[in-house]
Amino acid sequence: METKLFISCLVLISSLFAGAAQEVPQAPPWARPGVIKLAMAIDMRAEQIPGFRAETGIFVESFYSMVKKELRRNSVDKKRTIERRTRKLTKKLDKTMGVILDEGQIPAYKNYRDALVLSLSTPRKQALEIQSSPDVVQHH
């Protein structure tokens, strides 16, 4: 029952953001409709949701902190460094989610993770176009 309530809240939030502006989405990267849809596809039990939320929040905060730090640095290849550090953060998230989620949920989680990283890494309009594309890679 709690899972359905959580899903209903996510759908409500995403519909509010989607209805706010059609041309330029106002939702933060982790609350975009494509990302939320993939989070719902993980089909988590009520006891998994708090851990999932906490770890996802830590990942997003760490990502933004890392990007901000790298942009302040005086390095030559910022893009490459950000990509490398993003992979490192992603591996850390995968390890934690491997404990929280069941083995059968991992493929859906990987789809969600990839969409989240893409959404965090790309400008809003481009991310929206990519998420709605039928060519998005699905993990099985």
Contact 93, 113 (CB under 8 A): yes
Name the residue ranges covered by the structural domains of the chain: 2-131
**Residue 133: left if φ>0, alpha if ψ -120 to 50, beta else—which one?**
beta
**What is the structure's pLDDT at 139?**
60
Q: Inform me whether the pLDDT recorded for 14 exceeds 70.
A: no
Q: Inform me whether the pLDDT recorded for 140 exceeds 60.
A: no
Both structure tokens of 127 = 């991310």
How many other C-beta atoms can be found within 10 angstroms of the C-beta atom of residue 14? 20
How many other C-beta atoms can be found within 10 angstroms of the C-beta atom of residue 75? 12
Q: What does the alpha-carbon distance between residue 92 and residue 24 come to, in Å, rounded to a whole number?
A: 32
CA distances from residue 66 to 85, 97, 122 in whole angstroms, order as listed: 8, 20, 15
Mean pLDDT of 53-82: 88
**What is the structure's pLDDT at 26?**
65
**What is the structure's pLDDT at 7?**
54
Mean pLDDT of 94-119: 94
Categorize the per-residue pLDDT at 125 as very low, low, confident or very high, splitting at 50, 70 and 90.
Answer: very low
